[in-house]
Amino acid sequence: MSSINLTVNLGQLQLKNPLVAASGCFGYGTEYSDVVDLSTLGAIAVKGLFLQERPGHVPPRIVETPSGMLNAIGLQGIGVRRFIDERLPALRKHRAVVIVNICGTTVDEYAELARILSDAPGVAALELNISCPNIKEGGITFGCDLRGAHDVVSAVRRATSLPVIPKLTPNVTDVASFARAAEEAGADAVSLVNTFLAMAIDVETRRPRLSNVFGGLSGPAIRPIAVRMVYECRQAVRIPIMGMGGIMTAEDVVEFLVAGADAVQVGTANFVDPFVWPKLLDGLTGYLERHGHGAVRDIVGTVAVPGAAQRISS
């Protein structure tokens, strides 16, 4: 048994370790309970929920790309009431720490979801999806506008005492300014990144490969950009950061922590290897032992950047 302290704090929420299942890549958690001991994860960010059920986009909704995947699921979901009735009880039974990812088309919808979930036993935190790149209304429209992001976060802040974690989009010029807006609006932490807006074309038919034309790119292809964005946000805000984008190995986990993330989320890797979780935890523990650290938090934000805090290569 290792003596390493793996706990991390996201505001008032303490996780037993920094590994969190990323929204949309782990269902509502219950789907994975036969292959993963849900109580061993730091937390599970469940699939994005609207007030109402949604059918999502028609297929094709997923395409493999070099070192990544493109998706346009369109936030298919069972709606918040069915989630509370049908999924939360099982998640509690499995002793999972549940972060609910919420989506709305208006500020009021986000606040209403926050109120409903505040009364549901077993919800640890709310992750605000203001960054989904493949729906028409809501989502990313808030995440690409500083005022919109601020308004959503402050409305949810007023509606709940649960930890509030806005999830930022990378599809902006200056992601750090959105982290700052979230912090000013009362966020307990930020998570980043959601997927990158992208497109793939079948050259034989000359048609887009996704029914929605555009989709969100995830997986190892985006990792260096995500790491850069986490690093930039770490310089800009004091609140904790959950970093993600293409994490496949324990080394990738460490890279995000060293860049400034307090915890990480793992998404696309679940589709490649659902048994990845113990490997990530063992690898992280091994790294900390090898480098003589007693706690995960010892390595957070420890990247040694010579000279300036910000370097742009020519």
Ligand X SMILES: Cc1cc2nc3c(=O)[nH]c(=O)nc-3n(C[C@H](O)[C@H](O)[C@H](O)COP(=O)(O)O)c2cc1C
CB-count exposure of residue 211 (10 Å: 0-12, 13-18, 19+): middle
Alpha-carbon span 171 to 193, nearest angstrom: 9
Interface with ligand X includes 167 (CB under 6 A)? yes
Alpha-carbon span 28 to 82, nearest angstrom: 11
Minimum CB distance to ligand X smaller for 40 or for 67:
67
The residue of the chain with the least Cβ separation from ligand X equals: 24
Stretch that binds ligand X, among 144-152, 153-161, 217-225, 277-285 (CB under 6 A): 217-225
Stretch that binds ligand X, among 27-35, 65-73, 255-263, 289-297 (CB under 6 A): 65-73
Interface with ligand X includes 30 (CB under 6 A)? no
Q: Give the one residue of 6, 73, 189, 276 binding ligand X; rule: CB under 6 A.
A: 73
Alpha-carbon span 178 to 38, nearest angstrom: 32
3 state SS of 250: helix
Interaction mask 172-211, ligand X, x per CB under 6 A:
----------------------xx----------------
Q: Helix 250-259 to helix 276-290 angle, to the nearest 10 degrees?
A: 60
CA-based end-to-end distance of the chain: 47
Interface with ligand X includes 101 (CB under 6 A)? yes
- Triad 148, 231, 3: Cα angle to 5°: 115
Q: Is 25 a catalytic residue?
A: no
Nearest to 15 by CA among 56, 44, 51, 50: 44
Interface with ligand X includes 23 (CB under 6 A)? yes
Interface with ligand X includes 44 (CB under 6 A)? no
Q: Give the one residue of 19, 63, 175, 266 binding ligand X; rule: CB under 6 A.
A: 266
Q: β-pairing, 68-71 with 214-218?
A: antiparallel
Interface with ligand X includes 244 (CB under 6 A)? yes
- Least Å distance between CB 11 and ligand X? 19
Stretch that binds ligand X, among 69-77, 111-119, 175-183, 278-286 (CB under 6 A): 69-77
| Full DSSP string of 24-57 | TSSTTSGGGTTTS-GGGSSEEEPPPB-SS-B--P
Q: Give the one residue of 122, 170, 240, 246 binding ligand X; rule: CB under 6 A.
A: 246
Q: Give the one residue of 18, 24, 133, 240 binding ligand X; rule: CB under 6 A.
A: 24
Site for ligand X, rule CB under 6 A: 22-25, 47-48, 69, 71, 73, 75, 101, 129, 132, 167, 194-195, 218-219, 222, 244-247, 266-268
Catalytic sites, residue numbers: 132
